[in-house]
Structure 1
């Protein structure tokens, strides 16, 4: 296979027109993943997690919507900003039992709280319901995660 070096960069207005940027009118899923480190311990649990310990959590945020006139559903930078402000800045390198609302800091409880934070941000920024929060996944270890979907959270607008 031969590779060619482009001799010309495509220019808006001459090589492609603004009305050609949007290729389709379908909904798509857009996802971004994050990692953060936190410590916690569990109550009413007999096992290693009863003791104070830490995890490198992985958070996956999946949003759904139609593309705009540019062919973009939501800018990845906006997903990053929202997740950083609402979740990462509050939980990274923190003791979760201290910074989260009163709850047992299980992945199952935390992922619901995270969904609530993200959907609240979409609503307050006027992005929802054009952009829907489809699913949030929280990995506590590389092989163990908890997840919630819009349908599970009773978000009828996402169905």
Structure 2
């Protein structure tokens, strides 16, 4: 079973190792989807949606929202942002009945990156 919750955050960055207009300072309204995989517990839930919101707010959004991402992540591409988020969440959402399945980050409405467990090995 999969459980998914979505979030948004606004941030600025520049891609200094990229040659094109994105090497200049600019911003995005990012969309983030966090997906957990597992089985419902004795309360009938895979993970409490309210608790997941708190975990993501505390571990991710509190640092990334309205931030200059280059101060936090080297070369903050969508790929590197997704991997940074994965590392921040993996231990916090692990339960006997579930684990982190994927982190998806949209830089624009039609461009996203998905990181899954096997990608982080």
Q: Normalising by structure 2, what TM-score?
A: 0.94
The SS at the match of 2:85 is helix
> Whose strand fraction is larger, Structure 1's or Structure 2's?
2
RMSD: 1.2
Q: Which residue does 2:59 correspond to in 1?
A: 86
**CA shift at 1:137, angstroms?**
0.2
Q: Which residue does 1:145 correspond to in 2?
A: 112
Contact 2:41 2:97 in 1 (8 A): no
- How many residues are paired up? 121
**CA shift at 1:129, angstroms?**
4.4
Q: Normalising by structure 1, what TM-score?
A: 0.72
Q: Which residue does 1:106 correspond to in 2?
A: 77
Q: Aligned match of 2:86 in 89, 104, 115? A: 115
Mapped to 2, the partners of 1:41 and 1:152 lie a distance apart of 25
The SS at the match of 1:35 is strand
1:8-28, CA deviations, whole angstroms, 9 ceiling, x for partnerless residues?
xxxxxxxxxxxxxxxxxxxx1
Mapped to 1, the partners of 2:84 and 2:97 lie a distance apart of 22
The structure number with the bigger radius of gyration is: 1
Q: Aligned match of 1:132 in 81, 99, 102? A: 99
Mapped to 2, the partners of 1:147 and 1:79 lie a distance apart of 19
- Tell me, which stretches of 5 or more residues in structure 2 are unaligned? none
Return structure 1 stretches of 4+ with deviation > 3 angstroms: none
The SS at the match of 2:19 is coil
